[in-house]
Structure 1
Amino acid sequence: MLHRSWRRVALATAGLLAVSLVGCSEEPTESTDLTENRAGAMAEYGVGDQFTATEPLSFSVLYNNHPNYPLKNDWLFWSELTKRTNVTLEPVAVPLSDYEQKRSLLIGAGDAPLIIPKTYHPAENAFVSSGAILPVSDYLDLMPHLKDKIEKWHFHPELDSLRQSDGKFYLLPGMEEKPTQDYSLVMRTDILDELGLAVPKTWDEVYAALKAMKAKYPDTYPFSDRWGKPTPGGALLNFLGASFGTNAGWNYQHTTWVPAEKKFVYTGASEQYRQMLAYLNKLVAEGLMDPESFTQTDDAARQKLANGKSFVISGNAQTLVNEYRPDLARTNPAAKLVKIPLPVGPAGEINPAPRTSSGGIMISTKARESKNFVAMMQFIDWLWYSDAGQEFSRWGVEGTTFARDGSGKRGLTGDVDVVGLNPKGSKHLQKDFGFYNGVFAYGGNLELVQSFFSPEEMEFQQVMNARTPIAVPPPYPLTDEEREQVALWETPLKDHVTQNTLTFILGQRPLTEWDAYVTELKSKNLDAYMQLVDKAYDRFQKENG
């Protein structure tokens, strides 16, 4: 799996949520005169066509520079992309750790590149009222591959989730045909075998397994977690929260849609959130979970796992193969680690992954005035949304980085490795060639997304794919005035939730004070916040439903 930005879900603000809205109209047809903006564009460009500019073009792109594969100007990705499209990309490199801040500064100063990828909704909300980014929904007719996938994959609910109060959306979505859940618990199955326990299927069974581990190894904290910075419990609260029917950790959002009640609740004050905190509090109070889990460094958590001080940790496909197993192999070669299917909680057997989990692309308003605007939109459509462009971004060049067997299945060439699929390879698909790069390898059909999965990961995904995709909540697009108002409320509210989330989990504040805590949130304008959300929701329903 691509290692998705761990900070993305900290972006949640009062804006639009993912949505399932049947009654929304078709996308607006681009009707603005583009006669002066077609230089370099293909006169005939449709689904299945290779985009090739009719003259050499170059476009600036904001580049999220990942430390695992730092930018190289001589990557095959760049030269082959130019060879195929007649387009040269000019990357404006920004470190992964500073990407969101630097992006905001560049946009605010009017210096943003034309193409701004790796943007996770609702981050675009902050740039709409200034006019700095383009209402991309006006220009979908220039993007046949994107339009084709919207129809084939029934993607209208996700698009509705992006709409602003003007009915338009300003973010081209990353699109996956099916949801792909990556994060879950990684457990020492050799310890489970030793205790005569099966792999837990529910969070109650996880508790029972941790209890048995603690009884056998009283000097350990069976569960010691990572990804606690900058968001305490970032990954764990994300997928545990989904199991309890709420939004937490990396995915904290101020509101949660409760389908059974057909209403929004304030997340940090909801009963679902309280039940999640009570579960974790029980783990910490009984010595089953390391209280340092929410503040320690990732390296400290990995070291405890490697040294047998813990047996359970949050993880994903890459960390399991690239970090945890090599760590343990050096200290305990007999140990066995498995990423277990996401345990089931009160929300039932759901797959909580959104189909837009790979983020999206903003377009600078400056691009609209360029004589090459149509060509740029065609290029974006090919690279990010065509089957051929998506395969190129992930796999590279056939015969150089990958080959097909008799059945057409792709495989890395003998000397190329990535995610441990070809450990004898001396060259790395990301580091040495620039492919499978999170800036460009967005989404795709199920076969393509899963094409790098090991047989073990495929088993995990088959379990998750059999579950019900999480319901996509309805939108409540805010007006500029409303957004300015909630911006004053959001930070104090979220800070109070974050602080108390940690103190409740660690037992520094007893859960008997939950009602007092909710009262404190109300003093920070919780009720006014929810009244505004409900008003915006009702308005959108009346205008579009």
Structure 2
Amino acid sequence: MIPLTRRHLLTAAGAAAVAGLAGCGDDEPDAKEGLDGKRAGAMDAFKVGDQFKATEPLTFSIMMLSNQTYPYKADWPFLTELTRRTNVSLEATAVPGSDYNQKRSVMVSAGNAPFIIPKTYHPDEEAFIAGGAILPVSDYVDLMPNYSDKLARWNLQPNVDGFKAENGKYYLLPGLHENVWQDYSLAVRTDIMDKLGLTAPQTWDDLANVLREMKKAYPDRYPLSDRWSTPPQPGGNNLINLVGTAYGARAGWGWTPAVWDAAAGRFVYSGAMDQYRQMLEYLNKLVTEGLVDPESFTQTDDNARQKFAAGKSFVMSCNAQTLVNEARKDIAKIPGATVAKMILPTGPMGATLPGYNRLENGIMISKKAAESKNFVAMMQFIDWVWYSDAGQLFSKWGIEGQTYSGSIEDGTFKLDPGVKWAGLNPDAPKGLQVDYGYSNGVFSYGGSTKLLSTQFSDEEKAFQAEMNKRKAQPVPPPAPLSAEEREQVTLWDSALKDHVFQNTLRFILGQRPLGEWDAYVKELEGKNSTKYLDIVNKAYERYKKAHG
């Protein structure tokens, strides 16, 4: 997954601040209808592990995000082989990524969207519930044995419950991960670490000490100068997200205003939590001591990379792909320079990871699809492509003997040397995505930890092995709002978020003293943070009473 895609996911998770808690009114009728006359082309007995193949040639319409890195091609081998295996052809409405959300909104609202609407990030689906344009997909998961099996075996129902509307149904089929997957961390110049005799930091306090030693040796430089802060989002970048998570606050990319406080049994406002203040104190200390470049929170990625490439900084945010494709290439001209992905430091939350990132973007189903005589076959097709082990392996890597060899079960999997993907086989003549259409973000996401590990180098596998030792934090309970409540909190949310983000940056940079924290919290209350939480907590109590 390219960094921008992951950033979108994290930003969408943060945007769930308001709409992620939202739902529809109590008066929505049961969306499930009888399936008589809608089984044409479906398999009579479709179960986990079966290869889905329609009993007659079928065509389903689909909205297709055309990624700028690998633009949609109707003749991709992926699509040809998909038809051969399933007897299903896809009629694609291809839309560039920059226009995707807007085009999707227009088409769904007008009632002329394709049957299958993938690449939808929760809570985007909730804008279409009241109008009745999309199906409550939770009514039809009994038609999807692979989805249902993974939901149960991987204990993901609590996660999916967070997608539910006030009526107890959900309208988006999410991508499912077997385990929490932590990709983002910090890249560190390991040659500098070795030169200074420094050991890998275990905690964020350890990292501060590492940065102090680097500053002593190179007083004219900022040891950490970060990226992923644009488009300008004061208070909303990756570093703030990582530190916030370690302290137990939702911040930066991971921002969401309402955070579940298990001890109190209620939702609290993230930007007013003591944990949020502790995060700010830590980051402010790093900036005040000259350990973090103040421009880290506003500069472009290019500026951050140029500083790293010139040896003006030694630490910068990264993920598995940018480590290989960017950071290592950026420092190639520095004699003896080496860089590695740091095991993510821990903080007051201990060796844990957020449990909410086990779900990916997912699929909405147009209400019109339920009127089709091929509806059951379509749901079986979706279940095989997006949720079966075989479908996920095919969508990600293609055909054994053509684009890969070996098995993911015994660890012998290997991408064909003539095919490149991300950091694998970077000099190969053909691209898995561009030339074949596999590992396409429209189809390929989620899956088992073994499948996920096939995209990793040995170095990244070692990183993931350490991350997998950590315990996933529990996900918050559902608190879906009514349409009227959602409209009300939406009016408050923008001003609240702007105030949090602006002051996050001011506190970190020392432009506002942390001694004014109490005054800042009062300012949030003046912008209706308390009323916001009252609505959310009433929604939680109402849902709990109605659905348990």
TM-score bracket, normalised by the shorter chain, equals: over 0.9
- Shift in Å at residue 72 of structure 1? 2.3
- Tell me the distance in 2 between the aligned counterparts of 1:189 and 1:460: 15
- Shift in Å at residue 271 of structure 1? 1.0
Deviation per CA, 1:15-34: give whole Å up to 9, x if none. Answer: 4469xxxxxxxxxx996211
Aligned with 1:295 (options 289, 298, 317): 298
Which residue does the alignment assign to 2:192? Answer: 191
- Shift in Å at residue 84 of structure 1? 0.9
- Shift in Å at residue 328 of structure 1? 1.1
Which residue does the alignment assign to 2:87? Answer: 86
Which residue does the alignment assign to 1:14? Answer: 18
SS in 2 for 1:107: helix
Aligned with 1:310 (options 308, 313, 322): 313
Which residue does the alignment assign to 2:372? Answer: 370
- Tell me the distance in 1 between the aligned counterparts of 2:77 and 2:415: 15
Could you say if the C-alpha distance between residues 246 and 97 of structure 1 is closer, same or farther in structure 2, counting changes exceeding 3 Å?
farther
- Tell me the distance in 2 between the aligned counterparts of 1:348 and 1:6: 24
- Tell me the distance in 2 between the aligned counterparts of 1:215 and 1:438: 44
Aligned with 2:360 (options 355, 358, 361): 358
2:412 partner letter: K
- Further displaced range: 256-265 or 481-490: 256-265
Deviation per CA, 1:180-231: give whole Å up to 9, x if none. Answer: 1100111111111111110111110111111111121122111111111133
CA contact (8 A) 1:253 1:267 kept: yes
CA contact (8 A) 1:16 1:162 kept: yes
- Shift in Å at residue 261 of structure 1? 3.4
- Tell me the distance in 2 between the aligned counterparts of 1:513 and 1:30: 51
Aligned with 2:341 (options 320, 339, 343): 339
- Tell me the distance in 1 between the aligned counterparts of 2:511 and 2:65: 38
- Shift in Å at residue 64 of structure 1? 2.5
Which residue does the alignment assign to 1:181? Answer: 182
Q: Could you tell me which runs of 5 or more consecutive residues in structure 2 were left unpaired when the two chains were aligned.
A: 23-29
TM-score, length-normalised on structure 2? 0.93
- Tell me the distance in 1 between the aligned counterparts of 2:471 and 2:90: 40
Aligned with 1:492 (options 487, 491, 495): 495
CA RMSD of aligned residues (A): 2.0
Answering whether residue 456 of structure 2 is matched by residue 434 of structure 1, we say: no
- Tell me the distance in 1 between the aligned counterparts of 2:225 and 2:411: 43
- Tell me the distance in 2 between the aligned counterparts of 1:106 and 1:301: 39
Could you say if the C-alpha distance between residues 49 and 355 of structure 1 is closer, same or farther in structure 2, counting changes exceeding 3 Å?
farther
CA contact (8 A) 2:258 2:269 kept: yes
CA contact (8 A) 1:188 1:335 kept: yes
Answering whether residue 469 of structure 2 is matched by residue 447 of structure 1, we say: no
CA contact (8 A) 1:183 1:315 kept: yes
Deviation per CA, 1:508-537: give whole Å up to 9, x if none. Answer: 222222222212211111111111111111
Which residue does the alignment assign to 1:34? Answer: 35
Deviation per CA, 1:304-361: give whole Å up to 9, x if none. Answer: 11111111111100000111111111x2141111111111011111122535342221
Which residue does the alignment assign to 1:218? Answer: 219
Q: Percent identity?
A: 57
CA contact (8 A) 1:16 1:163 kept: no
- Tell me the distance in 2 between the aligned counterparts of 1:339 and 1:215: 23
- Shift in Å at residue 542 of structure 1? 1.8
Deviation per CA, 1:268-301: give whole Å up to 9, x if none. Answer: 1111111112211222222211111122111111
Deviation per CA, 1:341-382: give whole Å up to 9, x if none. Answer: 111011111122535342221112121122221111111100
1:5 partner letter: R
CA contact (8 A) 1:175 1:355 kept: no
Which residues in structure 2 correspond to 1:46-445 (within 5 Å)? 46-230=47-231, 231-232=233-234, 233-329=236-332, 331-352=333-354, 354-404=356-406, 407=410, 409-445=412-448
CA contact (8 A) 2:181 2:358 kept: no
Could you say if the C-alpha distance between residues 53 and 35 of structure 1 is closer, same or farther in structure 2, counting changes exceeding 3 Å?
same
CA contact (8 A) 2:174 2:359 kept: no
Which residue does the alignment assign to 1:472? Answer: 475
- Shift in Å at residue 69 of structure 1? 2.1
Q: Number of matched residues?
A: 534
Answering whether residue 503 of structure 2 is matched by residue 463 of structure 1, we say: no
1:281 partner letter: N
Deviation per CA, 1:220-251: give whole Å up to 9, x if none. Answer: 11111111113344222222211110111122
Which residue does the alignment assign to 1:22? Answer: none
- Shift in Å at residue 422 of structure 1? 2.1
CA contact (8 A) 1:13 1:122 kept: no
CA contact (8 A) 1:76 1:434 kept: yes
- Tell me the distance in 1 between the aligned counterparts of 2:94 and 2:506: 38
- Further displaced range: 396-405 or 525-534: 396-405
- Shift in Å at residue 67 of structure 1? 2.4
